Amino acid sequence: MVSIKPEEMSERDNYKFLIGSIIPRPIAVVSTLSETGVVNIAPFSYFNIVTSNPPIVSVSIQRKSGEMKDTTRHLLSQKEGVIHIADETHLIDVNQTAANLAENESELLRTQFTLGKADEVKVPIINELKIKMEVELFEHIPITDDKLVNADLLLMKVKKYHIEDELYNEGRINPDLLKPVSRLAGNDYATLGEKITIQRPD
């Protein structure tokens, strides 16, 4: 067995080890608005549930050379956004939103996505994605190393859910119809695959 301390590895090697080990990772497709009204769309796989009471999800957004990404800046300035769940039907368009564009350019133009009006926030929703969560900023936690902020952990409180009718039945979501995609390492994604049902112990 190989045993290595993180401090003995480069940042890049730590990154590769983590994204290759912690798989699959769900993908949040986050839409935000800049202060000038430009729609920003970006996918993030450092994403998960924090608690259901109140309903809070987390998105961790890495910085580049200490600089915040557009999504972080928008969430901190506007205090709201929309989180969508990536699905295999729209994976090509989701992947296009990962492009590195200037803040005054919208990733929307690289996709076939269309926008709709949200109910609780000013940020638009992506019509084609099957699950959407209107969210507001709950807490911002800068992640530091040697006093340098390398990432921003954003806790987002859900204000409203939107779920396609075909997925929803008596409070449950059908994963086979959702067809979520998850992130692996490199350029690889994974689909839902085989499900295993095991009853949890008392």
In this prediction, residue 2 carries a pLDDT of: 86
The whole-number average pLDDT for the span 98-118 is 95
The whole-number average pLDDT for the span 113-133 is 98
Q: Is residue 143 part of a domain?
A: yes
Please give the structure tokens belonging to residue 60. 């961790």
The answer on pLDDT for 122 being more than 90 is: yes
* Distant-in-sequence, close-in-space partners of 151: CB < 8 Å, separation ≥ 6: 60, 61, 62, 63, 142, 143
For residue range 137-155, what is the model confidence (pLDDT) as tens digits? Answer: 999 999 998 889 999 999 9
Phi and psi at 12, nearest 5°, equal -65, -40
Where residue 65 falls among pLDDT bands split at 50, 70, 90? Answer: confident
For residue range 66-100, what is the model confidence (pLDDT) as tens digits? Answer: 899 999 999 999 999 999 999 999 999 999 999 99
Q: Which domain holds residue 50?
A: 26-164+176-184
CA–CA separation, 50 and 58 (whole Å): 6
Measured between its terminal Cα atoms, the distance across the chain in Å is 34
Q: Is residue 132 part of a domain?
A: yes
Query: Is 175 strand, coil or helix?
Result: helix
From the list 152, 166, 184, the residue with the least C-alpha distance to 64 is 152
Q: Is residue 11 part of a domain?
A: no
Q: What is each CA distance from 156 to 9, 125, 133, in whole angstroms?
A: 32, 16, 10
CA–CA separation, 187 and 98 (whole Å): 12
Percent of the chain with pLDDT over 90: 92
β-strand partners of 168? 173
Q: Is residue 169 part of a domain?
A: no
Where residue 9 falls among pLDDT bands split at 50, 70, 90? Answer: very high
Please give the structure tokens belonging to residue 127. 């019509």
Q: Is residue 129 part of a domain?
A: yes
The answer on pLDDT for 168 being more than 90 is: yes
In this prediction, residue 38 carries a pLDDT of: 96
CA–CA separation, 115 and 199 (whole Å): 41
Q: Is residue 199 part of a domain?
A: no
Average pLDDT, the chain: 96
Please give the structure tokens belonging to residue 107. 């990733």
CATH number for position 94: 2.30.110.10
The number of domains in the chain is 1
In this prediction, residue 147 carries a pLDDT of: 85
Q: Is residue 56 part of a domain?
A: yes
Query: Is 1 strand, coil or helix?
Result: coil
Q: Is residue 170 part of a domain?
A: no
